[in-house]
Amino acid sequence: MQADVVVLGAGMVGVSVAVHLQKRGRQVVLVDRRQPGEETSYGNGGLVQREAVFPHAFPRDIAELRRIARNRSVDVHYHLSALPGLAGRLFRYWWNSEPGRYAAIARDWFTLIATCLDEHKALAEEAGSTELLRPVGFLRAFNDTATMDSELAKAERARAFGVNSAALTPAALGELEPHLNNGFVGGLHWTDPYAVNDPHALTMSYFELFRRLGGEFAVGDAGMLRRGGAAWRVTAADGTEVEAGEAVVALGVWSGAVTKRFGYTPPLFGKRGYHLHFKPKGNAGLTRPVASNGFLLAPMRAGIRLTTGVEFARPPAPPTPVQLARAEPIARRVFPLDEAVEPEPWMGIRPCTPDMMPIIGPAPTQPHLWCAFGHAHQGFTLGPTTGRLLAEMMTGGVPFVDLAPFRAERF
């Protein structure tokens, strides 16, 4: 199978890169060990997060660090055994979260986030899936006024980045989401984000667009990537040889395992997250996702999706969904949840870098090898943006956002 480009990894990022290259006349083969969109891009909160202009920083407040260190919270959990291996990368993450450095990072990060609604809308229009981009935003509901005041102040700062929001009294919160149990001191409505109630369907719609444009898909292990003369080669699971002049690594948190073999070792680390769907009781429903108490409740086609915050674990460690167990009783007080839909929770891994920014551009150690990974908490949001940027760069165009801050050489 001959192609101009082989894209490794068919999550939201890889599919978006593949479709943008194919649109620009490149013949692309997309390779994944599973079917498209079945890993982290499958089970996320489904938010296209125009409001996320401040990337997730490492906490620097001592009281907050103490709370997390106790390892009993809903929002963060860690395996002690994971910490020695992660220490260097977490230290750099902490260092980059110092207010001065963080402000500079947030300015660069904003240049990507600012484009997310337009880039999703453009792809979804071509793919015929605009009905999945629901312009309803999402809510944060607060238990205490101190947290509410500090989050409202953050929302005011975000206005300078073109982010819209509205503070909500308990009554206004109840009007927007009548089935939420009251008892909150108030809320915040981020009004810009799209809420997607089937993230997998959105990725699949972009994948189908890729196929309609003539792109091909093969099941295969990216670990088989090798040089064959000037070309890249991968042997697909059915034995087919895929050969292409350029290769793109878009393997999410697994990207480093492949680039390392070609001399580039990015300091990626994973933040695991879980979800479980519940049937709503009676006629209860949510119009949009609601974040509170360290978890998110998102209305999905499959049910009400309860998603958790962050877990640090060694890559091979089996799932430990303790945060779901902690969140579920609280979630039941917040919203009338009935029985769980699945017997086991789903787990995904956010691909993170110590400076909170993705790696987009050529690999520094090999010609014709490209990187598109490290989107952390917002890879579902930024897939189409990254796809367009990388495709523009690879086809000799001028990327519509300056890619210098995201280049691989910074690590």
Ligand X SMILES: Cc1cc2nc3c(=O)[nH]c(=O)nc-3n(C[C@H](O)[C@H](O)[C@H](O)COP(=O)(O)OP(=O)(O)OC[C@H]3O[C@@H](n4cnc5c(N)ncnc54)[C@H](O)[C@@H]3O)c2cc1C
Q: Tell whether residue 345 is a contact of ligand X (CB under 6 A).
A: no
String marking each residue 211-250 x if it binds ligand X according to CB under 6 A:
----------xxx--------------------------x
Interface region with ligand X, contact rule CB under 6 A, candidates 63-71, 314-322, 331-339, 371-379: 371-379
- Among 40, 165, 292, 293, the residue binding ligand X under the rule CB under 6 A is 40
Interior/surface letters 252-277, b for 16+ CB within 10 angstroms, e for the rest: bbbbbebbeebebebbbbbbbbbbbb
Contact with ligand X (CB under 6 A) among 5, 18, 30, 47:
47
Query: What residues pair up with 244 in beta bridges, in sequence order?
Result: 3, 232
| Among residues 5, 6, 7, 10, the one that binds ligand X under rule CB under 6 A | 10
Name which position in 350, 361, 384, 394 contacts ligand X (CB under 6 A).
350
Of the candidates 381, 385, 390, 391, which one interacts with ligand X according to CB under 6 A? 381
- Under the binding rule (CB under 6 A), the answer on residue 352 touching ligand X is no
Total residues contacting ligand X by CB under 6 A comes to 39
Of 26 and 271, the one with the shorter C-beta distance to ligand X is 271
Q: Is 354 a binder of ligand X (CB under 6 A)?
A: no
- Considering only 3, 18, 22, 32, the residue that binds ligand X (CB under 6 A) is 32
137 binds ligand X (CB under 6 A): no
Q: Does 373 bind ligand X (CB under 6 A)?
A: yes
The answer to whether residue 59 forms part of the interface with ligand X (CB under 6 A) is no
Chain residues that interact with ligand X, rule: CB under 6 A: 9-14, 32-34, 38-41, 44-47, 49, 221-223, 250-252, 254, 273, 275, 307, 348, 350-351, 373, 375-381
